[in-house]
């Protein structure tokens, strides 16, 4: 298994919250860049309506395939073309080969808290 460099034709940034909690125990830190200018293959799918916290939200599911890197997790968010995408679920090791990971994310569900 390898990743064809020609397929990685987009650039994304992965962010996570800086350390710290507010008085309610929720993450209070600002979003900081962890990995910048990462080459990625981006697969978009038709938008969908989702329900979260009793409210309807529009979302656009996207899968970002990047070369495997340590430290990528489900509490991150992805910036692509000026849009913030909240990571949904654990990043998946493509074919278990330890070469590439797929990150599924959606736009429009909140701030990734």
Q: Which domains does the chain have, with CATH numbers?
A: 5-107 (2.40.10.270)
Q: Which 3-state string (H, E, C) describes the chain? A: CCCCHHHCCEEEEEEEECCCECCCCCECCCEEEEEEEEEEEEEECCCEEEEECCEEEEEEEEEEEEECCCCCCCCCEEEECCEEEEECCCCEEHHHCCCEEEEEEEECCCCCC
Mean pLDDT to the nearest integer, 15-35:
82
Please report the pLDDT score of residue 13 as a whole number: 98
Q: Is residue 56 scored above 60 in pLDDT? A: no
Question: What is the rounded average pLDDT for all residues in the chain?
Answer: 83
- Give the residue with greater pLDDT, 4 vs 25: 4
Please report the pLDDT score of residue 96 as a whole number: 85
């Amino acid at each position: 298994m390898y990743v064809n460099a020609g397929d990685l034709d987009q650039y994304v940034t992965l962010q996570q919250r800086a350390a710290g909690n507010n008085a309610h125990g929720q993450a209070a830190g600002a979003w900081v860049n962890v990995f910048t200018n990462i080459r990625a293959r981006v697969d978009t799918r038709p938008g969908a309506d989702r329900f979260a916290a009793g409210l309807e939200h529009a979302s656009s599911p996207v899968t970002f395939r990047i070369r495997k890197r340590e430290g990528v997790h489900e509490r991150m968010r992805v910036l692509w073309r000026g849009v913030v995408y909240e990571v949904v679920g654990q990043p998946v090791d493509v074919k278990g080969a330890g070469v590439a990971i797929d990150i599924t994310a959606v736009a429009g569900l909140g701030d990734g808290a």
